[in-house]
């Protein structure tokens, strides 16, 4: 499991700001298709319906207008990341070269040049945490860097009927989503947590008490729903998700700490290839 930290330098923009998660998702797949087709089986080794072996980390979603360059002729920097899993993690240099070549075709209609690329290996073991021992953790604070979509279709409709917004996920649903992604994308880390002891066909289950833990949200950065429209030649998509802050009381802090730490690498919920589901975990 490796993180590619990248910066694109973009030419002048015309029109509305892009939903970068979807744009960068397409950028990665087109780069592989056009310039490194041997990587395509590594991007989605389980097929289109299985978890992709990469996740885009777009710039964090922020409120308000974006800062403009001091000079409109200056290139606009766009910092983002790509997390690579499985065999794809060993091909970071080849993917970076494909991305450089894809820049010749522009990005969202803008001139683009790929700057420095840094590759960071994931820790092989759970590192020291901000709160030690982990058993002392009382709260898990999730700062959502990108929209979080973690609900079935029926739950989404029910949330809309009752609250007029997406349902906020329980702690149990967050933990189960991370565990499922770890088992597929990061088997080494999953084994350290004992998740490999389950037969592949069985899903790891959170405790009933964890499913009962609903999040709080602070007034300073409340959770809210946003829509990020994204248009391709074939489709016009408008996925929605939650941004802001979710705070969960702990129940089994050591287990939760391990899953929530690794969730920062593998992501949580749906549409992670399009930049959804990344967060910063702050225990206290």
Q: Which fold has domain 2-121?
A: Alpha-Beta Plaits (3.30.70)
Is 226 strand, coil or helix? strand
Highest mean pLDDT among 91-95, 143-147, 222-226, 273-277: 91-95
Domain ranges of the chain: 2-121, 134-283
Q: Residue 62: pLDDT above 90?
A: no
Q: Residue 268: pLDDT above 60?
A: yes
Q: Residue 84: pLDDT above 90?
A: yes
| 206-238 pLDDT, tens digit each | 999 999 999 999 989 999 998 877 666 666 777
- For the chain, the 3-state helix, strand and coil shares in percent, each to the nearest 5, are 35, 25, 40
Kindly report the pTM of this predicted structure.
0.88
Q: What is the pLDDT of residue 231?
A: 65
| 89-142 pLDDT, tens digit each | 999 999 999 999 999 998 888 899 999 899 999 988 888 777 788 889 999 999
Phi, psi of 18 (to 5 degrees): -80, 155
Give me the percent of the chain exceeding a pLDDT of 70: 87
Q: What is the pLDDT of residue 21?
A: 84
Q: How many CB atoms lie within 10 A of CB 152?
A: 11
Lowest mean pLDDT among 6-20, 145-159, 167-181: 145-159
Are 2-121 and 134-283 equal in CATH topology? Answer: yes
Token look-up 């939903």 returns 19
Give CATH for domain 134-283. Answer: 3.30.70
Residue 263 tokens read as 């969730």
Cα distances (angstroms) measured from residue 268 to each of 4, 8, 108, 174: 19, 25, 26, 7
Q: Residue 193: pLDDT above 70?
A: yes
| 45-61 pLDDT, tens digit each | 988 777 889 999 988 87
Highest mean pLDDT among 131-135, 199-203, 253-257: 253-257
Of residues 133, 117, 116, 146, the one with CA closest to residue 55:
146
Q: What is the pLDDT of residue 137?
A: 92
């Amino acid at each position: 499991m490796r993180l590619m930290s990248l910066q694109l330098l973009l030419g002048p923009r015309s029109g509305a700001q892009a939903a970068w998660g979807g744009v960068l998702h397409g950028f990665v797949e087109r780069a592989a298709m056009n310039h490194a087709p041997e990587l395509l089986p590594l991007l989605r080794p389980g097929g289109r319906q299985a978890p992709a072996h990469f996740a885009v980390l777009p710039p964090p979603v922020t409120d308000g207008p974006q800062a403009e360059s001091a000079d409109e002729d200056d290139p606009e920097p766009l910092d983002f990341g790509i997390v690579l899993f499985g065999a794809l993690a060993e091909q970071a240099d080849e993917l970076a070269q494909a991305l450089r070549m894809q820049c010749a075709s522009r990005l969202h209609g803008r001139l683009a040049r790929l700057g420095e690329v840094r590759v960071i290996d994931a820790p092989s073991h759970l590192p020291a945490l901000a709160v030690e021992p982990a058993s002392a953790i009382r709260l898990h604070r999730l700062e959502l860097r990108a929209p979080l979509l973690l609900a079935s279709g029926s739950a989404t409709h029910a949330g809309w009927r009752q609250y007029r917004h997406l349902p906020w996920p329980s702690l149990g649903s967050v933990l189960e989503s991370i565990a499922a992604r770890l088992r597929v994308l990061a088997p080494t880390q999953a084994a350290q947590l004992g998740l490999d002891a389950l037969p592949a066909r069985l899903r790891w289950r959170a405790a009933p008490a964890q499913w009962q833990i609903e999040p709080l949200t602070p007034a300073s950065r409340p959770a809210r729903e946003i829509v990020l429209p994204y248009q391709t030649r074939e489709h016009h998509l408008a996925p929605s998700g939650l941004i802001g802050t979710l705070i969960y009381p702990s129940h089994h802090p050591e287990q939760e700490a391990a899953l929530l730490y690794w969730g920062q690498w593998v992501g949580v919920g749906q549409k992670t290839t399009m930049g959804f589901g990344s967060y910063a975990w702050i225990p206290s």
